[in-house]
Structure 1
Amino acid sequence: TCRIHESSLLLAVRTCFNIYLASKSPINQSTAKGILTQTINYVFTNMERNVVDTVVTIPFDENSVVKDVLDSVVYQVSTSLDSCQYENGEQDLKSTNIDFNEPLSPNEQNIILNGSIHSSSPSYYYGINGSSENTTEINVTTNGGTPRQLQQQKLEFNSIEEKDAFLIFRALCKLSMKHLPDEQDPRSHELRSKILSLEMILLVMEHINGQPLPDHHSFVYAIRHFLCVALTQNAVSPTITVFEKALSIIVQLINKWKSHLKKQLEVFFKEILLSILESPSSSFEHKWAVLNALSKIFDDSQSVVDIYVNYDCHMTSANIFEELISHLAKIASSYSSDPSSPTHGQQIAKDREKRMRELALKCLVKALKCLVAWYEDMEIGKEVSIQYPAEEQQQPLQLSTEGSAADVNQIVQ
């Protein structure tokens, strides 16, 4: 077999995207999506197989970089790869062309700024220039063109497979940030492209466990600097399909990558999950999706405990666990006080409220069971000798209430 890498691999992935979007044949669309799925699985499986203690060579502590990004820096990602320039005429699907190397405009980014999500013009510019070597340089300059004191960072890849995964993941994040037109056509190329890219990102996050990767691995860097930025846009989308895909990715980050993303996840909890639950203007579909996401998070007892320990027990962090329980209790105990005979529309609304109360109550039960299970495991661990530690792992609780808001609407009607 002939293995392809870097620019050739990006071209192959882009071609699959274009065929999926341009073709009117369901068979061609399914085939293109299947090839894309297999390709991405293969690339990231190879990356995991070749995981080495990758070094991000930066002349200062990376924690200061993350804090700087969260507190004062606005990203603008340019993915123009020097090694990925194509001649004119190579793209046959001009009407549906997706350029993986087109720079992002400032308006395509919602930024995590000072613990909140904002959309504003950038104060700094992060330009990423790929090269044929296993190094990606990140130049940092201000709007006025004056370099910062620490001007350059370098990502060093220990294998070509790792660099392939980094480039594809960055391209998928960029595609997921494409601006949607005001008139939302479910068959539009922009929406289908966004959904497909989010599905591919979710596929990656479901099959990769963040625990074995070191904190300075290039893929962890990509999640912090590209995926988190993409999620700040898509997790506040009014399009419910996009919103649900983004929430599913956030759930994966919380359950598998919390050790690498403490500050970023705090922002997601505060500005997305909690904000939607407490807002009276949030739609039923969005609240239902958030409750389903919390239900999946509460399936993992360790995640529940980590939320409490990492945030509520931290001096400078928000009381995330307390606020989650408070909002869930408020939803579970709410009721309609109108005793009159409801119309058809009012009855549908009441049935929706009832189902939402039930789901919130089940989330509370899951949270309590997770805490009890964790406490029992800790007590068992104290009684077992050091030579024979407890090896039984807590199985996920089976209180599933999965289903989309559309499914609930069909049942109600």
Structure 2
Amino acid sequence: MMSTSNLPAFEPLDPVGIDDLLTPDEKAVRASVRHLCAERVDPFVADWFERGVVDDVRGLAKELGALGLLGMHLEGYGCAGMSATEYGLACLELEASDSGIRSLVSVQGSLAMYAIWRWGSEEHKLEWLPRMASGEAIGCFGLTEPDIGSDPGSMRTRARRDGSDWVLDGRKMWITNGSVADVAVVWAQTDEGVRGFVVPTTTPGFSAPEIKHKQSLRASVTSELVLDGVRLPDAAALPEVRGLRGPLSCLNEARFGIVWGSMGAARSSLAAALSYAGERVQFGRPVSGFQLTQQKLVEMNLEYTKGVLLALHLGRRKDAGTLRPEQVSLGKLNNVREALEICRTARTVLGANGISLEYPVIRHMNNLESVLTYEGTVEMHTLVVGQAMTGQAAFR
């Protein structure tokens, strides 16, 4: 019988040894992203969040591009062509720093770049993807509208033909990267159904005022898109798709990253709570020595561990080509909900210090309130999984 002295050491933040399931390449990607975040994001992000401004976001995008993180799971056109699991691990590390930074990467790669890569013309791909992969050009994705969220089929933005051109009119809301973007992928109603358009942001009639007064995702650029008679050539339309399957396919890519990323916010908050509990002394001993605190720490770690295992399983399925959209919905539903609960519990461990930006917990809590809603609300993902289970659509 093997004695415990011969066993690997117990890792408080990896209690079941999930690292054993990762390949050397996957660990190397994780280490590279963690190092970049430690150098370029972590020392500054609390200040960015407090001020609601990301300093030199274009410079940061270029550094992310230089590491191969922008569109990293896409093939060709300057993209890194990494696996889905490697992309997931990168999202986890990015969101351990801040959800807003992961959102920048996710919107760039899984929404704007993926839309062009999957549905665009060869001209679109050659013009935009290499520059977006390097971070030289930033993209955004215009689907949500001021009055239209979970029901994108009711969007009011319209594109009409005028001779050989398209003319777009409408508004999009809650658009990450909008006011710093060089290109917007905009979805609009047409006489041919919903279509996507590649819109250079210098096009007359296009504007992207930044949204202010947010209390979540403050280290992220969030904008409204206004399209007032935006005239585009016929070639601006994405040629390979009609209908909602275009934007919904992109959202599914982004949701996959959220399944992983939310666990990064959870890990950061769990680590902060564990460290704080070992240092904070009350009644003559560290609070980590009290039963109720240990219960909180264990339950947080239990849900974090289950969430990472779920993300890893879905990553392996995606790499094998067997991942279903309903499975992504289940992962997003579970992991964001549990991550938010982990952050809330971590806040109680830190007591009053839990609301201070000296610690990451309240920032992650606030950010996850947005993550809980975007790329599909709890209600919508519940009904997606419910329909898959029962065969009955309950959306209306």
TM range (shorter): under 0.3
The higher-RCO structure (CA 8 Å, 6+ apart) is 2
Which structure has greater strand proportion?
2
* Greater Cα radius of gyration, structure 1 or 2: 1
TM-score after normalising by structure 2: 0.26
